[in-house]
Every structure is written in C-alpha cells, then in structure tokens.
C-alpha cells in the first residue's frame, strides 16, 4: 500500500476508534452494499470495517474480490443470493455448483457463516418468486450438506417488516394472513436447520410517513417517557425494540417461540429529498450512534432481555448509483472516499433510550398504557411507498406503518 494511502486510512482508524472501540463490547454487523461506481477497493475497505469495530459483514452477493480481501481477518460474512437467482437455485445441481464456487472456495480463510437466499421476497406479491423461495433455500442447504459445510454455514432469507399484519402493541404482533402458509413452511426449515430469522426494520420510514404524530426521540433512541404494552406491562422507549418484539410474538403465535431473530438491516439516512423529513446528518448520527451503544451493552429487548441483539447496520457506504429518492444514496456511515459521512459522537451510554429497559414508570412517574388503536386497513396495499435499501425496489408498507404511528402517538398527549 502506498505511504500516503496508509496515512489516510490510519488517520481514519485513529479518529473513529477513539469513539467506538471503548464501547464495542458486543459484535457489530454492517451491510456492505456496492451499488456505486466510486467505492474504495475491497482491500482498502478492510481497515474501514475494523475502524468501527464491526466483526460481521453482510454482502448482497458473494463478490470474490471482497471475500478474498477479508481472508484471515476473522470477520464473519453473510453472503447473498439475489432474487433473480431463486428459480435457478431450485435445481440442486446448480445450487451445489454455486456453493462450491462462491462459498467453499473461500473457506476456511474467509469466515462465511450464512447464506441468505432472496431479499424481501414475500412482500413482492410475485407468486412465481414466492413459490421458488423455499425450494431454493432447501437446495442450497442440501448442497452444504453434500459438501460437509452445513455445520458451519446456515441458510436463511431476509424479510421486510411488512410481512406483519399487526405490530401494535408488540404483544399482538402477527403475520399477514395471506403469508402464514408460506411462512410456516419457511419457519419449519429454520427450526430444522438451526438458521436465524432475518428481518429488515426501519423506524425512519414511520417517522418520514407522519412526522407530526411520530415522536422523533422515540425513533432515535433519545430519552423519552416511553410507552407500556398493556398486555405485558413491558416498557418500550424506542420503536426498534417494539418492532423486534412484535416479530418475536408473531413467531410465537405460530409455535416458533425459540427461533432466533436477527435484524439484517436498519439505519437512518443523512440526506433526503424535501419530502423526506428527518433525513439529516444529526438524526443519522443519533440513530446509528445510539444503536451502537445499545448493542455494546449485551442486553436484549424488553421481551427478550437476555438475548444479544444481532443487528446489521445499513450501510457501510453511501451508494451513488442506487435508484429512488435521495435518501437511498445516503444511508452510509462513510463517504466513498473513506471519510465518515458524519461523526457518530459515541462517548457515553447514560442517555440512551433502551439502555435501562424496565417495566413501569420512569423517574418515579407511572407510564400510561398504550391506548387502544383504531381499526386499521387489512390490506397491505394501503400505505406509503417505501424503497428497500438493498435493492432500490418499491413496495408498500401499510398496517405496520400505521401501527408504528399509533404506538408513538400517545407520547404527544
């Protein structure tokens, strides 16, 4: 590496690690997207990933250049098989060929621990795609078994939060009725193979959808009064935890109470269009900085306080070629030149919502129970237009958004 480049990245590591390393007691995951034409080489990305204390990386493909660059670094990888591969992966022979070329060839030097097959497939409302999901997952798993890799590499898929019919209050979390049959088969696969359930969750969308009703502090993990789930008496002082516990309840309602849940994507954009309220560097700093603090505490959600948070922040870089609104190109912790998009400003965990999750009130004051929500639309086609950060595709998120609005509305009363 040239000397000036070494100095450049060394300065980044030193400046950022002062804030991050002291609190990174828990492993942090990061999404490494590459829909851009100006990103650093994979070799130069290695010190950037280490500078934020990330020990896990999620790719949206199995880029051999990236996997080779991270060889012998101990960084764990989730590699992806895009939706366009699902039909092809139904063929066991093709699945095995893909695994041999894209996974086995990099082991054990690069620590690949998981393959996610398809991204937010079930909310595409594409029957042919949905019908290919489980067979593709099964073929990939069978390939791992045949190659003797199934004990070290699991197979899963990532879901949008809009697979939920209800998420308010968290104790009433339930999957969409039209997806239950398909999900049940997939959940059975997870249980049999020991793979995690992945969910993409973005409180930013709820705030952007109705900033007058959603309290900003509640979605940014800032100090706030919080709310109580009347069925469980559990106290929630941030939206992400409420969303995660809604997923736990939805899984439990189908008999999968012990299935591990990982947040495969969550983040906050530092820039957006005029109608993308809240997309600012300061809010991105608060959301991601406070989230990293919470991950470092090795505590879980109110419903699962003893379970570590397995979260992958979205994203490592701003990606200049992503379609959609301006926010889509500004989720990165870093700019393409390797400099921070904003300072995370991490120093203390004393003023972070969720850092002391309890039941009951705060500061000696009782918390009001969550009010009974009004009836919500039953069709997921009623809602606001969001864009998947991973692919730039459009999909509707209806009842989940409305539930999130109701959850925080009482904070204004």
CB atoms within 10 A of CB 82: 14
Q: How confident is the model at residue 168 (pLDDT cuts 50, 70, 90)?
A: confident
Asked if pLDDT for residue 377 goes beyond 60, the answer is no
Question: Is the per-residue pLDDT at 328 higher than 60?
Answer: yes
Average pLDDT over residues 352-361: 49
Is pLDDT at 399 greater than 60 in this prediction? no
**194-214 tens-digit pLDDT:** 999 999 999 999 999 989 999
Residues in the chain: 413
pTM of the model: 0.83
Looking at per-residue pLDDT, the higher value among 45 and 385 belongs to 45
Query: What does the pLDDT read at residue 251?
Result: 98
Q: Which of 120, 165, 328, 395 is catalytic?
A: 120
The confidence score (pLDDT) of residue 183 equals: 97
The 8-class DSSP code of residue 386 comes to E
**pLDDT score of 346:** 56
| Pairwise CA distance, residues 35 & 14, whole Å | 28
Report the topology of domain 27-334. TIM Barrel (3.20.20)
Q: Are 243 and 203 in contact (CB under 8 A)?
A: yes
> Whole-angstrom Cα distance, residue 390 to residue 45?
19
* Integer CA distances (angstroms), 241 to 177, 231, 326, 410, in order: 23, 16, 27, 17
Higher pLDDT, 395 or 127: 127
Look at residue 134 in the predicted model and tell me its pLDDT: 98
Give the residue among 239, 199, 247 at the shortest CA–CA distance from 215.
239
Read off the pLDDT of each residue in 215-235 and give the average, rounded to a whole number.
96
Give the integer Cα–Cα distance in Å for 355 and 370: 21
pLDDT, one tens digit per residue, over 150-161 is 999 999 999 999
Q: What are the extents of the domains in the chain?
A: 27-334
**Which contiguous run of DSSP H or E holds residue 218?**
helix 216-219
Contact present, 408 and 211 (Cβ < 8 Å): no
Q: What is the pLDDT of residue 26?
A: 54
Q: How buried is residue 177: exposed, middle or buried, by Cβ count under 10 Å (0-12/13-18/19+)? A: exposed
d(C-alpha 354, C-alpha 239), whole Å: 10
Q: Is 274 a catalytic residue?
A: no
Alpha carbon distance 355, 406 (integer Å): 23
> Which one is catalytic: 76, 265, 319, 395?
265
Going by pLDDT thresholds of 50, 70 and 90, the confidence category of residue 355 is low
Per the DSSP assignment, residues forming a β-bridge with 164 are 175
Residues 58-96: pLDDT tens digits? 999 999 999 999 999 999 999 999 999 999 999 999 999
Mean of per-residue pLDDT scores for the chain: 83
Under 8 Å between Cβ of 106 and 64: yes
249 class by beta-carbon count within 10 Å (0-12 exposed, 13-18 middle, 19+ buried): buried
Chain segment 176-196, per-residue pLDDT in tens = 999 999 999 999 999 999 999
Q: Check pLDDT > 60 for residue 41.
A: yes
> Is pLDDT of 302 > 90?
yes
What band does 308 get if pLDDT is binned at 50, 70 and 90? Answer: confident
* H or E element that contains 146: helix 127-146
Q: Is 276 a catalytic residue?
A: no
pLDDT of residue 90: 97
């Amino acid at each position: 590496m040239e000397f000036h480049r070494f100095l450049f990245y060394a300065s980044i590591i030193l400046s950022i690690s002062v804030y991050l390393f002291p609190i990174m007691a828990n492993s942090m995951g990061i999404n490494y997207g590459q829909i851009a034409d100006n990103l650093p080489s994979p070799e130069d990305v290695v010190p950037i990933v280490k500078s934020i204390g990330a020990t896990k990386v999620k790719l949206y493909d199995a880029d051999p250049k990236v996997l080779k660059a991270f060889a012998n670094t101990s960084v764990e990888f989730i590699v992806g098989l895009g939706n366009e591969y699902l039909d092809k992966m139904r063929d066991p022979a093709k699945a095995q060929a893909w695994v041999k070329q894209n996974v086995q060839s990099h082991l054990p030097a690069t620590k690949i621990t998981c393959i996610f097959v398809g991204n937010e497939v079930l909310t595409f409302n594409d029957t042919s795609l949905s019908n290919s999901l489980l067979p593709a997952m099964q073929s990939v798993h069978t390939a791992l078994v045949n190659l003797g890799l199934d004990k070290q590499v699991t197979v899963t898929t990532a879901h949008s939060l809009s697979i939920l019919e209800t998420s308010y209050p968290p104790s009433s979390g339930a999957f969409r009725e039209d997806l239950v049959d398909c999900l049940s088969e997939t959940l059975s696969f997870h249980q049999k193979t020991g793979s995690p359930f992945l969910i993409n969750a973005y409180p930013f969308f709820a705030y952007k959808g109705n900033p007058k009703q959603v309290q900003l502090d509640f979605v940014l993990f800032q100090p706030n009064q919080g709310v109580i789930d009347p069925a469980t008496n559990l106290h929630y002082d941030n939206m992400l935890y409420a969303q995660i516990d809604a997923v736990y309840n939805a899984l439990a309602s189908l008999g999968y109470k012990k299935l591990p849940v990982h947040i495969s994507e969550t983040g906050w954009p530092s820039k957006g269009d005029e109608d993308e309220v809240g997309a600012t560097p300061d809010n991105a700093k608060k959301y991601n900085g406070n989230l990293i603090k919470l991950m470092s505490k090795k505590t879980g959600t109110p419903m699962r306080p003893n379970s570590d948070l397995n979260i992958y922040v979205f994203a490592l870089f701003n990606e200049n070629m992503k379609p959609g609104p301006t926010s889509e190109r500004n989720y990165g912790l870093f700019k393409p030149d390797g400099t921070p998009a904003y300072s995370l400003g991490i120093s203390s965990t004393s003023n972070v919502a969720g850092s002391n999750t309890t039941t009951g009130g705060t500061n000696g004051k009782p918390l009001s129970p969550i009010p009974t929500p009004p009836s919500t639309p039953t069709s997921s086609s009623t809602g606001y237009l969001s864009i998947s950060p991973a692919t730039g595709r459009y999909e509707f998120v209806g009842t989940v958004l409305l539930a999130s609005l109701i959850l925080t509305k009482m904070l204004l009363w």
